[in-house]
Every structure is written in C-alpha cells, then in structure tokens.
Amino acid sequence: MTKLSVNINKIATLRNARGGNVPDLLKVAVDIQRFGGQGITIHPRPDERHIRYQDARDLKAVVTTEYNIEGNPQHNFIDLVLECKPDQVTLVPDAIGAITSSAGWDTIKNQEYLTEVIGEFQRNGIRTSIFVDPILEMIEGAKKTGTDRIELYTESFAHQYSLGNEKGIDPYTKAAVLANELGLGINAGHDLSLDNIKFFKENIPGLLEVSIGHALISEALYLGLDNTVNMYLNKLK
C-alpha cells in the first residue's frame, strides 16, 4: 500500500490568520495520525507565513508515524532539519516568496550542490528525497546525487487529468519505471486529490508515498478530516 503523508501547512495558515493557537497544529497532527494518516509533512518557508520553525521543533514530539520536512536547502533550513532529525527531508527548489512549489530540480545543473547536502543529511540518519519533474534525464541526474528517493512533481498530471486527458500520466509512468530500475524510491505530491489519486497510484509502479495537503484539507471542509483521510487510504490500497 502507498503511504499517505498529510501536509498540514494549511492548518498553520488558518491559525496564523487570527493569531493565537486555533486551530491547534499539534493536536491536528496527532488527530490525523489517530485517523490513520501514515505521516505528517510540513514545508516551512523563510517568511514563516504558515509553518513556523518552532512548529517544526514542536512537532517532533508528537509525530509518531513518519515525519517529513520539505524545503529549499538554504542554511537556516539545513540547520533546522539537522536539529529536528525527521525521518525524511524532501528538497524542493523553491524561490523565496514563492506561493507554492512550481518546478522540480535540475539535477544535472545542481548535482554537486545536491550531492553535498544529501550527504550531510544521510550522515545524520535522515532519508532524503528530491523534488523532480517526470523527465528521464532528471531522474538519472537524481540517482547520481546519492538521494534515497525522488518525489515526482505532479501538477502537470493533475491539470491534464482534470481536462480528461489520461495520457498525461505517461511521462510519470516512464519516470517511475526508470526510477525503479535505478533503485530509487518513489514519492509524489502536488495537486493530487480524491478525484485523481486512485488513477495515479494505479499507473505508478513502486509508488511508496504521497504527500497531500491543499486538496485534502480543502476536501475536509466538506467531508470532515477523519473521513477524508480514510477516503484517501481506501483509494491508495
């Protein structure tokens, strides 16, 4: 079964909109795991507009499943990850001020840098994953960095699927086949939802984990958080 890691950035966004501690981010993380979620993902940004660096530290004490921290490996982020020692770190090439992730790494151009950062995390016992587009050359480049896994950036698939174009999955299937051949673990995330997750999972061989935040939290406004988590789990079986 593909694991479901729930990104709780949007919970932090809602909390920060009013100040105070409502909703309680730590309680939501505990509840998501109680409902069956198999991991908690956060993506702290330099401006801390949703997840704060202190949140990352506080969550370490309450995440009992898999703790995944995403972000651009700048100095402050690297220091935070080494302090928190999550189960997994996912490296994302976000520009400062970006609204959301919009592209994967150029693993050829950034190979030396990624290799150095990945080596540092792995020496500290942290599994590494790097965010990549479904481009075969980028998958091959990822292998050369020494990363444990890749996370396929799925915005393009989600957009094409919403238009009724199921062929939009083809580059992802080919990327997954190559990753399996190279011995890379496969994660995926971005714009995956209850509408497309089952089709995506069925067409990606060896899919280990999906990280879902915006869609899941939005769907939970109507369906309830417990119900929504379990609807994803059922589709990922």
Give the residue numbers annotated as catalytic, written as ranges. Answer: 43, 70, 190
The number of angstroms, rounded, from the C-alpha of 191 to the middle of its chain's C-alpha atoms is 11
Q: Which residues contact 205 (CB under 8 A, 6 or more apart)?
A: 173, 176, 177, 180
| Cα–Cα distance, 69 to 224 (Å, whole number) | 25
| Cα–Cα distance, 27 to 62 (Å, whole number) | 9
| The two structure tokens encoding residue 80 | 């935070």
CB 93 within 8 Å of CB 100? no
Phi and psi dihedrals of 210, rounded to 5? -120, 140
The number of angstroms, rounded, from the C-alpha of 80 to the middle of its chain's C-alpha atoms is 17
